[in-house]
Structure 1
Amino acid sequence: MKTDVEELTPTRVKLTVEVPFDELKPNLDKAYKEISQQVRIKGFRPGKVPAPLIDKYVGRGAVLQEAVNDALPELYGRAVEESELFVLGQPDVEVTELEDGTQFAFTAEVDIRPKFDVPDYDGLEVTVEDAEVTDDQIAETIDNLRERFASLTTAERAVEEGDFATIDLAAKIGDEEVEDASTSGYSYEVGSKSAVEGLDDALVGLSAGESKTFTSTLVGGEHAGEEAEITATVQSVKVKNLPELDDDFAQMASEFDTIDELREDVQTRLGRQVKMQQLSDARDKALEALLEKVEIPLPDKVVEEEISRRNQQLEQQLQMAGMTKEDYLKDEEKSEEEFDKEVADAAALAVKGGFVLDQLAVQEELGVENEELSEYVVTQAMQMGVQPQQLAQYLTENNQLPAIVSEVLRSKALNLVVENVVIKDESGNVIDVDAVRTELNGETGETIEVESEADAEAEVAAEAQEIADDAEDAAEADAADAKAAEEANAAAAEAVDAEEAAEAKKDA
């Protein structure tokens, strides 16, 4: 087999492959065997039809086509391997010559990773934020915990901002009632601006039994985007009462006996969060510093596929959060053009980062052990809430193992970069990443390996949720305070919804 490589661009090549016809013999034999199983010729059992009869009744051309289709994947793979190319995606293949008994040739155009060397990164310096926990952060966390155990009491007065009003809503467009925009017994926090525009202003000043009609644009349902007359009727007005910040609250909301012990625990948890975030920032900035030293062309098609993947991921996350893309752009105060540019820039940077880490893994002769793959699968399974065996089976059946190997290799390459750069905090202190990991591992008995900003955010969210879970468990254990447990459950559910919405915004 002879292979010529023509460089169309720095990121795309054309392979011209010439194959002696004799090399197709195994594929021809296989083609005759398979066609013999399919044809029905009088006097011959399926699978026993001689080749000459197949040529006569089916045609030699059909046999050649079957053989070529069978041979192409292997021949293409050999050509790529012999040419030492790092191909990306599927090739565009064209059979250019098929002389029966003489010659077979084809071309394959395919995107490739550009050829380059990763420059020296030893001694690169990056700066991350100080890993400090402020009194304001501690107070905010404890205040959020108090919110989870707040109670509502009925107030015999008009609605004020911050109250919880139980309301009925009725919407009309002309004389037609809009059923999917109407509801009754809806508990709404006045001032939260979480419903249709104008509702908060309409409710303030109303007492139980009073109504007010206003015009607003519907945000969901069959008539989304249309203007409607909305009538809000107040059933009751309730005031939120926060528990006193004392030892009784600490005992109700946690496993601690005193408020000082609760504060100390919150400080410890927050300290762990900021250190994990610091590790994540160190990894991200180390990669950024390395990428600044490398200039390489990027295949347009690969970047476009990454842009499409990110847009699809955002769309799924926005659906889970109950948001539209228009809502998201409005919240972020971005135009469609600004958003598209940000996604395109992030996609190009991600593709470039992957190329650089792949090449670094080759230069440093990094490999992946079975134990490392197993550890990765177990970690991912825990995050997804499935059994490791189930995830491993899915990855194998869907041919995802090569992608997993690549991901683990890239992580090892980035670890190598982090180990060789100088990481300082804003106060000028040099950060020993290994020492921080050891400290965090010692606190939990688990292995901490923050791989990205998204992973760090997930860990931080998990830590915050753990505080809420502890509060919930404590409340449930107290049978005399069932109401507090119910409200803790509701607040925890709201926290999960908020977290999903935040994830949708972050991944954009």
Structure 2
Amino acid sequence: MKISVRNLEPTKVKLTITVDPEEFNPFLDEARKEIAKQVTVPGFRKGHVPGKIIDQRIGFAAVAGEAVNNGVPELYSQALEEKGIRPMAQPEIDVQEVPASAKDETKLKFTATVERRPEIELPELEGMTIDVAKPEVTDEDVAARLETLRQRFGTLVGVDRPAAKGDFANIDLTAEIDGETVDSQEGVSYELGSATMLDGMDEALEGLSAGEETSFEGTLEAGDHEGEKALIKVKVNSVKAEELPELDDDFAQDASEFDTLDELKADIRKSLEQDSAARQATEARDAFLTKLAEGLEIPVPKGVKADAAAEHLKGMTPDPETATKEQKDEAEAAAEKELKDQILLDTLAEKMDVKVSQADVFNFLASIAQQYGMDPNAFISAIVRNNQLGSAVAEVGRSKGLLAGMRAVSFTCEGEALDLSAFLGEEESDEDESVAAASAAAAVADEIASADEAVEDAE
């Protein structure tokens, strides 16, 4: 197989692949076998029709078409592997030449244009030292956490005065468009100042007492008339203020297992210190990635970036077609950062010679399923059916590459060595337990497929 590569852009290449007959013939033979299973030829059992007869009865063009459909993806993958090209999108395939008969010496020739991962040179990790700021837990942090706990034990008490920020109003709502009621709700509890309902609600309610009414113009945020302007009529049924318990030993006993407020504060400080250690590990990760990217130009494939920006935009507005320039710019910036991080992490994983095990993939997908309250086996099966297993393997590889990279450098805090082993884990030593990412994906897919077959047989 002859492969020529033409760089169209820093992140886009065009491969021209010419396949020798001895490489293409196995695909032709396989195509003839598949066609033989589907056709009936007098004098031959189905599936046992000789290849020459298939060429004569069905036509070599049909055989070649089937062979091209099945062979080109595999030959394209071989070409990528041989040339060390890492695609970031699906290729545009153009089949240019195909043999017209079994005796035709014309070679299969096709081109593949694809956006690729750019090649970047990461700095050497050996000897690299990264300083991370020391996290501090202040008395103000403890007081803020204590206040949050105190609010959980607060009670609402009716007040005979106008509503103010922080009060809870029980209200009835009616939304009208052109004099017609399009939505209404009764007995809704709303905290003034929370800004959790319609824009303008806080301003409309502040200063109203129980029994009073008002109206304002607002934009509906849900329902059949989402996004439309409406006249919002509000009636206040009652106003309640939050009454908080005193911060004393009695409160500590009610809110925790401790007998005194001082003991509760000490426990809160300990918890905050643990949280701060986790934040420091996150800061160390960010500092490490920043150090890796220092001075690097990381070009991003235009098409991949456009698709990623479109996905971000869908999450920002219900109608991307009406998105503002600010929203589009924000979506584009988020997509670019996301892709640059992926490129950086993929390159790091390759540099660290990361291997992804079958157990790694299962654990990763099972943890996601657990987060969403889904059955892990059903979730993993869905991932396989939707051809998303490769993406999962890539994510696992990035995560393992990041951990391996961070274990290879030194972190300090105020000049002292910083131990992050509790967050980075131990380096894997048993390489026999790991397989290449593609093999891991195949293993997971095969195991799930076998499990599905077993279930079907049992039924």
Using the size of structure 2 for normalisation, the TM-score is 0.79
* Cα deviation, residue 121, structure 1: 4.1
Is residue 77 of structure 2 the alignment partner of residue 77 of structure 1?
yes
Per-residue deviation, residues 302-326 of structure 1 (Å, max 9, x unmatched) = 33333334444x34xx88xxxx999
Confirm or deny: 8 A CA contact 1:170 1:177 kept in the other structure.
yes
Which residue of the partner structure matches residue 464 of structure 1? none
Q: Could you tell which deviates more after superposition, 270-279 or 71-80?
A: 71-80
Give the conservation status (yes or no) of the 8 Å contact 1:28–1:64: yes
What pairs with 1:55-134 in structure 2 (closer than 5 Å)? 55-99=55-99, 100=101, 101=103, 102=105, 103-124=107-128, 126-134=130-138
Q: Which amino acid aligns with 2:239?
A: V
Give the secondary-structure state (helix, strand or coil) at the position aligned to 1:93. strand
CA contact (8 A) 2:252 2:259 kept: yes
Q: Which has the higher contact order (CA 8 A, sep 6+)?
A: 1
**Residues in 1 aligned to 2:370 and 2:408: alpha-carbon distance in whole angstroms:** 31
User: Among residues 303, 306, 317, which one is paired with 1:304 in the alignment?
Assistant: 306
Shift of 1:158: 4.2
Q: Does residue 357 of structure 2 align to residue 353 of structure 1?
A: no
- Per the alignment, residue 33 of structure 1 pairs with 33
Deviations 1:377-419 (A, max 9, x none): 5544554445555555555555544434433333343334434
1:92 and 1:108 in contact (8 A); partners too: yes
Cα offset, 1:198, TM superposition: 4.3
Separation (CA, whole Å) in 2 of partners of 1:185 and 1:355: 52
Q: Given the alignment of the two structures, is residue 432 of structure 1 paired with residue 433 of structure 2, yes or no?
A: no
Q: CA deviation at 1:241?
A: 1.1
- 2:396 corresponds to which letter in structure 1? V
Where 1:274 maps in the other structure, the secondary structure is helix
Q: What is the match of residue 140 of structure 2?
A: 136
The answer as to whether partners of 2:348 and 2:405 remain within 8 angstroms in 1 is no
Deviations 1:95-131 (A, max 9, x none): 2212233122222222222334322244555454431
Task: Provide Cα deviations, 1:140-186, integer angstroms capped at 9, x if missing partner.
Answer: 111111212211222344434432222222333443223x1x22112
How many angstroms does 1:232 deviate by?
A: 2.5
Task: Name the structure 2 match of 1:154.
Answer: 158
| Distance in structure 2 (CA, Å) of the matches to 1:70 and 1:290 | 41
Conserved in 2, the CA contact under 8 Å of 1:153 and 1:238? Answer: yes
Measure the CA separation in 1 of the matches of 2:343 and 2:304: 11
**Which structure 2 residues correspond to residues 41-440 of structure 1 after superposition, within 5 A?**
41=41, 44-99=44-99, 100=101, 101=103, 102=105, 103-124=107-128, 126-178=130-182, 180=183, 182-208=184-210, 210-220=211-221, 221-312=223-314, 314-315=315-316, 336-370=324-358, 372-373=360-361, 375-377=363-365, 379-386=367-374, 389=377, 391-419=379-407, 421=409, 423-425=411-413, 428-434=414-420, 437-438=421-422
One-letter amino acid of the structure 2 residue matched with residue 185 of structure 1: G
Q: C-alpha separation between the residues in 2 aligned to 1:417 and 1:198?
A: 50
1:49: Cα distance to partner?
4.2
Q: Which residue of 2 aligns with 1:24?
A: 24
List per-residue Cα deviations over 1:319-366 (Å, max 9, x = no partner).
8xxxx999xxxxxxxx94344334433433333333333333333433
Change (3 A) 1:424 1:52: closer
Unpaired runs of at least 5, structure 1: 327-334, 442-446, 450-508
Question: Displacement of 1:431 after TM fit?
Answer: 4.9
Seen in structure 2, the aligned counterparts of structure 1 residues 265 and 394 have a Cα distance that, compared at 3 Å, is: farther
Q: Classify 1:246/1:397 alpha carbon distance in 2 versus 1 (closer, same or farther; 3 Å).
A: same
Change (3 A) 1:204 1:106: closer
- Shift of the alpha carbon at 1:75? 1.7
Letter in 2 for 1:217: G
* 1:294 partner SS: coil
Specify the code of the residue in structure 1 equivalent to 2:93: V
Deviation at 1:277, TM superposition (A): 0.9
**Displacement of 1:45:** 4.6
Kindly provide the CA deviation profile for residues 223-254 of structure 1, in whole angstroms up to 9, marking residues without a partner as x: 44554443322322222211221222222222
By how many angstroms is 1:216 displaced? 1.5
**TM-score, reference length from structure 1:** 0.72
**Alpha carbons of 1:266 and 1:24: their partners in 2 closer, same or farther (altered >3 Å)?**
same
Q: Which structure: greater helix fraction?
A: 1
Distance 1:281 1:375 in 2: 25
Write the distance in 1 (CA, Å) between the matches of 2:8 and 2:340: 20
Q: Tell which deviates more after alignment, 349-358 or 251-260.
A: 349-358
Report the AA paired with residue 257 of structure 1: D
Give unmatched runs, 5+ long, in structure 2: 428-459
CA distance in 2, matches of 1:160, 1:115: 59
Alpha-carbon distance between aligned partners in 1 of 2:324 and 2:238, rounded to the nearest angstrom: 42
Structure 1 residues 344 and 23: alpha-carbon distance in aligned structure 2, compared to 1, 3 A threshold: same
Q: Counterparts of 2:77 and 2:206 in 1: how far apart (Å)? A: 71
